[in-house]
Structures are given as structure tokens and as C-alpha cells.
Chain A
Amino acid sequence: MDFYRTVGNQRAEQYFLPWRPVERQKVQVILEAGRLASRAVNTAFAKAIVAYRDSLTAAEREKLKTPFSAVLVDTASVYLFWYHDMDARRVAIEERKWPTVASGALVDIGALGPPHGWSHRYVQNVVLPEVLMPGLDAGPQRGGNADAGLAMAQGLLAALDEGLAACLAPFDEAGAKEVLRTPDTWEPVMGMFLGYPADSAEAGGQEPRPPFESMFFEQHASEPFARDEQVTKRLEGAGLIQRPAPVPWREKEVRAVSRMLGLPHEEAQP
């Protein structure tokens, strides 16, 4: 699918067809996309565990739920639990098993070189002691990691490209640790709940956002980035900007889909 349409198709999907499994190949594509995401010092901060709803007991599913993901756990066919590996930096520096900045691999392949001041000696004498090692002796630190979120987002877009619907929602960390046996050095990012959508592709329309100019600025935080309508027109044509929620028939659709899935709903008023 074209990139902008893939981005434009993203919704916080709530309604999945519970009886339709997701092909394993598609799950692999999502992981492959996440693996290729940009990451600092070429270190694998992002990790993920794939779980299938039907391979878990009802009790195990209950343990994973939060108020935001309760119904998703029951209806999505596949869950991808994304984590931040808080120990990844230490492993990269101390064990040097894998091709990271610390191992010198990026100098070897010409990604970093003398024109930018890089060399193996620079890695050892400057980058390691001044950039990578400070704070390492404090041990794994909670507080999130942008690269883990970045990998998850790239995987999310891959899911949409594969024709799946997805929703990012929190999962119960303690419950997941018990069910999935995650290490103590992993901190949750988000759960990605996947499946085939039960509602229409529009899923009610594109979700609202705060005013564009409140999010983006130019040169100084006090100067909004002026939004050119010609650009937005082009992006509408490209499928990035789509019809906003709610589409006129959304209420009827929600009612019907809720009936189909045995979920609570309000009947139409006469």
C-alpha cells in the first residue's frame, strides 16, 4: 500500500473479528518492520512477544487486561507485547556480541567514518566513556525509551499495510510477566492488539487531534508552523488526510457490530 494511505488508514481499532485468525506470515512482517527501525547506537532496545488469544486460557487473558484493553484482549486474535529492554545498552557495551556502535561495526561498514570524526579509537576513547557508559552502573532504569516506541510504530504501520487493524493499549505488566515470563529488565511499551476489523475500513473516520498549530512550531517554541492548505489538499489526495470522525452512519454501525460480537449496546430509539 502507498505510504501515505497506510498512515492515513491508522485508527485506534476497537472491533475485531474474533473468529478470523491472523496469518503468521503477517505477524512476521510486522516484526521484520520493527526490527529495521532506526535505533540509537544500533542497539536493540525494542523487544516483543507474540501471543495468540486462543492459545491462552481465560484466566491468563484476564491477567493481561487493563481497563483500556479488556475487550481487545477478548476479541483481537493476536497480541504483540512491545517492551523496552533496559539492559540492551549494557549488553551492547559489555558483551559486544552484536553489531552496535560499541562493537565498532558501524565504523567497519562506513556508516560512521573519519570525515565525521569517527574511528575505532574515537569509539573507544570518546564515545564509550562520554556518551555510552555514563549511568550504566546504576543498572536498568525505568522511564521509557523512544527507540522502543519507534520500532513499535514501524510495526504498527506494517500491520496496516498488511490489511490488518490494530490498537495500541496498555497491558497489565505483572500479569504479562506471569503469563509471558518476561525478564525483570524489560519495561512495557504498549500492547498491540491485532486482527481483521469487524467494522468498515473507515472505522468511523479519522480521529480528532488538537489544532495543528498547537503541536508544531518553527524556529522558536512561540512561533507556530503555518499550515499551507495546498499541502493538506495534496495529502488528502494521497490518502493521508481522510474523512474525520464521525461518519454519518457510525452509530448504526457500532450498534450492529456490537450485536454481532455480543457486546453491550444501546438499541436504536424508535
Chain B
Amino acid sequence: MMKILVPISNVPDTTTKIAFTNGDTEFNTAGVQFIINPYDEWYALVRALELKEAGKAEKVTVIHVGLADSDATIRKAFALGADDGVRIDNEGPDAYFVAEQIANYAKENGYELIMAGKETISFNGSSVGAMIAGFMDLPLVSLATKFDLEGNKATIEHDIDGGTQVVECELPLVVSCAKGMAEQRIPNMKGIMGARTKPLTVVAATSNDKLTNIKSYTLSAGRTTCKMIDENNIDELVHLLHTEAKVI
């Protein structure tokens, strides 16, 4: 039976106040809580687990390209129900590099369904899923919101410009997962206990093709002051939007 590979990313919790160090060349991880990227967890991983529970897949493996400090995040995926995990021991984050590593692993180990998240909330590339499909020369269905499997044939609903579309595709296949695929799960006690003993394999990178690098970061400028307008003087707001903000 078919095996599913779920690439997961390790990202700062959504409430994190972002800061940088080292002359604004590095993300400051001090005090930051890391989580599985929400799209990877809530949609890709949970849907993959549901497919396995329905007897449609034999095994769900999570894969991550990152350093040892991501292991706690991989174990969270175990607690949710992933069978095993692979970490490619390299910091990334160039999307080309990450995708090439995952594609190589998937090819060598015979994964027929790769379920990535639609994007990371850290680098917002929306790239890795489609790149994996490119490296493996496989079809891609992006922004999947519903996914079902009958034997070897997937039926998928996904977002397109201005609407949605239903397609069918035989495996092997890459999908990028968006809201709608599944509901968020909370790990249960059994999952949490089992997470410690599930196999996490650490392997070295198979290439060193990094085509982009980040030179520096800048925090987005906040807004200075909010001009309060009296609710009985709404003409004033419309006037300001026209003459000051020049947006209407």
C-alpha cells in the first residue's frame, strides 16, 4: 500500500514578536516558541493521518530540512500520529535546496503522495511544494481544500483564480494543502507518550545547491498614530480619505 510523505516546517508561533540580531542578519530566536507550520499540521498532516486511519495509506512519514533544534517540532508531529520522521541535517532555508532534498528522499524511498503545506508563515514562499513536483516531474495540485482517495485515484478540490476546481489525478502526485482539508487536532495522552519512541532518522544533505541567501532583515514600519474621528462627523473621514490618504 501507498506511503505518504509530509514535509513540515518549523516556524515561530503566530503571536511571536519578530526581532533580529547580528546586525539584522539573523532572526532572533531568544524566547521564541516554535511550532509546526499551521498549514503543514492542520491540513497536510491531519488529512494524511485521516487517510491512513481510513485504510487508504500504509504509513505517514514527516520530513524536515533543518537542524537539531527542530527535533521537538518533529516529535509534535509524532504525538499527532505520524509514524516516523526524517530530518535532513542542514539549516536551509533556500526553497530550491529544501525541495531538492525532499524530492531526492521521496524518490529513493518510494513515496507516492507528498502533502506539503501551501506556505510557511515564516518565509511565505509558497514554493517548496511546487518545486518538489518539479524535481520529481510529478503533477501538482496546489491549494487543495478537499482531498479523497479511491485506490490509486485522488479526487481533489482546489482553489484557482476567482473560484475552485475539482480534478482527478492518479498517484504519484504532489499536493499543497490549504484550509478546508481537515480540522486541527489536539494530541492525546497515548500520542504524547508514544512520540518519544517513534523513529526519527537524521540524514546528511545529498547536495549543496543553494541559489538564494538572505543578506539582511528589516522590521516593517508600524503606524505612528491613529487619527480618531467622531462618529457624528463621518464626512470628515470621507474627506480625509480623499484629500489626505488619497485612496478614494
Interaction A to B: no
Instruction: Tell me the A residues contacting B by CB distance below 8 Å.
Output: none
Instruction: Tell me the B residues contacting A by CB distance below 8 Å.
Output: none
